[in-house]
Amino acid sequence: MLSLHNTALGDCGVPIRMGEAMSRHTTFRIGGPAELFAAPRTEEELWTLLAACKRDGLPYFILGKGSNLLVGDGGIPGLTVAMEGLSSVRVDGNVIHAQAGASLSAVCLAARDAGLAGLEFAYGIPGQVGGGVYMNAGAYGGELRDVLAGTVHCLDEEGQPHDLPVDRLELGYRHSFFTGKKWVILSASFRLEPDPEGPPAVAARMEDILSRRREKQPLEWPSAGSTFKRPEGAYAAALIDQCGLKGFQIGGARVSEKHAGFVINAGDAICADVLALIGEVRRVVQEKTGFVLEPEVEVTGRQG
């Protein structure tokens, strides 16, 4: 077992837990233990943790809401850093400034209360600002790139701070400059438009979108949201349904009967179940339709 005795990480002054169950920190409710786990309360604590990992030669993993994440049954080696403590949201005129650990819903509610329009599409997306920027989260015809403004504050692989202008973020479908990199997003800003009818009008649109989500998506089951990216010229859910895979199950993982684009944890699913189900769905869809489905869910950690 890893010991923190006489290490930079052990002496950094930030509380660290050992063997934290990652099933408690993902919307899939799946995942083995994080070898080490910390939730910094300030950007300074975050920087201290990452610097200590570098000195100790330890890998680190940045955890947001865990809403687009599948953690291996063997857990995550090194340090898992939860961003939940960095969650401030501030409204300045028609711009909302938010730290990476703020939930997208909290930012949406701040926009609603200020009577600002433009973020309604994000209401109900179960992620945080950092993860949303990382993957250019979107739904119902909107994407974060439509409303991101100014610069995104972040750290590079060496822990050096940067303020990247939005036009350098390479924002595309479920993609950004940060995709596949070990950079850490710290905060972002959103420029919105005042609604002439004020907060009630913004609230009505948000509630309409949330109602549509509840009607069409299996929100009553643990999942990681849409399991597959939208293939060019088709829709993943329609292809899966066309192949008769609704309700198909391996172990505790099941293709939702309500929305075929969702793989759900139907009861005590493990990572291996989900990966096996995803692989079989991809195989059948390619065999029957010719389309190759690309998983949208990020997979991390040891698989056994």
pLDDT score at 5: 73
Q: Is residue 6 scored above 90 in pLDDT?
A: no
- Residue 200: CA atoms inside 13 Å, Cβ hemisphere, count? 1
| Percentage of the chain modeled with pLDDT above 90 | 93
Domain that holds residue 49: 17-82
Taking residues 115-120, what's their average pLDDT? 98
Give mean pLDDT, residues 264-286: 97
Which pLDDT does position 304 carry in this prediction?
76
Same domain (yes/no): 111, 206:
yes
Q: What is the CATH number of the domain that holds 119?
A: 3.30.465.10
| Mean pLDDT over the full length of the chain | 95
Domain boundary among 184, 214, 244: 214
Which of these is catalytic: 20, 84, 174, 254?
A: 174
To the query of whether residue 226 is one of the catalytic residues in this protein, the response is yes
Task: Check if 67 is active-site.
Answer: no
The CATH number given to whatever domain includes residue 77 is 3.30.43.10
Does residue 107 sit in helix, strand or coil? Answer: helix
Q: Would you report the helix, strand and coil content of the chain in percent, each value rounded to 5?
A: 30, 30, 45
Over residues 221-243, mean pLDDT: 96
**Residue 163, pLDDT above cutoff 60:** yes
Q: Is 29 a catalytic residue?
A: no
Q: Three-class SS of residue 72?
A: coil
Clarify whether residues 104 and 171 are in a common domain: yes
210 plus 244 within the same structural domain:
no
Decide if pLDDT at 229 tops 60: yes
Give CA–CA dist 60/53, Å, rounded. Answer: 7
Q: Is residue 12 part of a domain?
A: no
Task: Return the beta strands (E) in the chain as ranges.
Answer: 17-21, 33-38, 60-63, 69-71, 76-82, 89-92, 95-99, 116-117, 138-139, 142-143, 148-155, 161-165, 184-191, 193-194, 223-226, 249-250, 253-255, 262-265, 298-300
Cα(172)–Cα(216) distance, integer angstroms: 25
- Count of domains in the chain? 3
Is there a domain that residue 6 lies in? no
pLDDT of residue 160: 92
Could you tell me the pTM of the whole model? 0.92
Whether residue 245 lies inside any domain: the answer is yes
Give the whole-angstrom CA distance, residue 85 versus residue 101: 6
The answer to whether 26 and 298 are in contact (CB under 8 A) is no
209-227 average pLDDT score: 94
Of 68, 59, 101, residue with least CA distance to 186: 101
209 and 120 within one domain: yes
Share of the chain above pLDDT 70, in %: 99
CATH classification of the domain holding 296? 3.90.78.10
Q: Which of 185, 278, 291 is nearest to 231 (CA)?
A: 291
The answer to whether residue 133 sits within a structural domain is yes
| Residue 254 domain-assigned (yes or no) | yes
User: CA-to-CA distance for 64 and 224, rounded, in angstroms?
Assistant: 13
pLDDT score at 1: 55
Pair (149, 44) in one structural domain: no
Last residue of a domain, one of 62, 82, 102: 82
Rounded Cα–Cα distance for residues 285 and 168 (Å): 36
* Mean pLDDT within 146-174: 95
pLDDT (0 to 100) of residue 4? 81
Out of 214, 245, 279, a domain closes at 214
One domain, residues 167 and 187: yes
Q: Give 148's Cβ-side CA count (13 Å radius).
A: 28
Which is catalytic among the residues 20, 226, 254, 256?
226
Confidence of residue 21 (pLDDT cuts 50, 70, 90): very high
Q: Which of 43, 207, 296, 298 is catalytic?
A: 296
Please report whether residue 186 resides in a domain: yes
pLDDT, position 184:
97
3-class secondary structure, 175: strand
Pairing of strands 184-191, 95-99: antiparallel
